[in-house]
Amino acid sequence: MPAQNNSPETLTQPTGGVTVPAFEYGFYDQCLRESYEKFGGILDLPIVDSPYSEARRWYASGNVLDIGAGRAHALERVLDGALKDGRYYSLDTDPRGQFDFAKVQEIPDDLSFSLIVANQVFEHLTIDTSLEVMAHATAHMAPGASIVATVPNVAHPNRFMSNITHVTYWGHHSFYMLFKAAGLEVKNMARYSKVHPRGLIERLFARYAGRIYRMDWCDSLLVRAVKHA
């Protein structure tokens, strides 16, 4: 019997000397089982209000990095007045907006963050690119720092398919793997949605569809992972 693979294979990228894990099926399979044991099925996950409320909940002080900030810089507005001993940094590839960085490789080596937010980003990236982004982001996380990341919930009937630029299906267990591969501990996993079932009939139907068809009315997943010292 082959030995259990406890960590992904790695390769060294020439960008800043950061070691980027390569996708390895044995590690992936291990993470699926570990995530299920820790968090259960999709309908077992708690429901939270929004990624922004969670970001504010887990922010204490220090610098904040907003990956996929968008031209509106919504997170900056949410944290307005709450930033302590640090500042807000934005990262996005949209040429129509103004951002501090266009890619994670541009972040100065001596700049660290106590909170990183990646709201609806990784579904637009391949698995390999997601692993690279996470490796570089983790290198800039201070000890004890959190990353709050969200993706469409693939158990929702149409959330993932609603955008032609979505390329990677991140089920909640595979999303767990992304953070484990970066050496982080996944502390929280949850669901949220812009639209909620209203009234008794809608709630009963949502519960029935979820049980019979393994569907979920919550349209997005959220993970909080922590970097230890």
pLDDT at 1 over 50: no
What pLDDT digit, counting tens, does each position of 154-167 carry? 999 888 888 999 99
| Reported confidence tier of residue 179, pLDDT bands at 50, 70, 90 | very high
User: What pLDDT is attached to residue 33?
Assistant: 97
For the segment 6-48, what is each residue's pLDDT rounded down to a tens digit? Answer: 556 545 444 568 999 999 999 999 999 999 999 999 999 999 9
Share of the chain above pLDDT 90, in %: 74
* pTM score, whole prediction: 0.89
Compute how many other C-beta atoms are within 10 angstroms of the C-beta atom of residue 72. Answer: 9
The packing angle between helices 172-181 and 127-139, to 10°, is 50
More confident of the two residues 208 and 160: 160
Instruction: Give residue 206's pLDDT.
Output: 77
CA of residue 144 relative to chain centroid, distance: 17
CATH topology of domain 18-226: Rossmann fold (3.40.50)
More confident residue, 36 or 80: 36
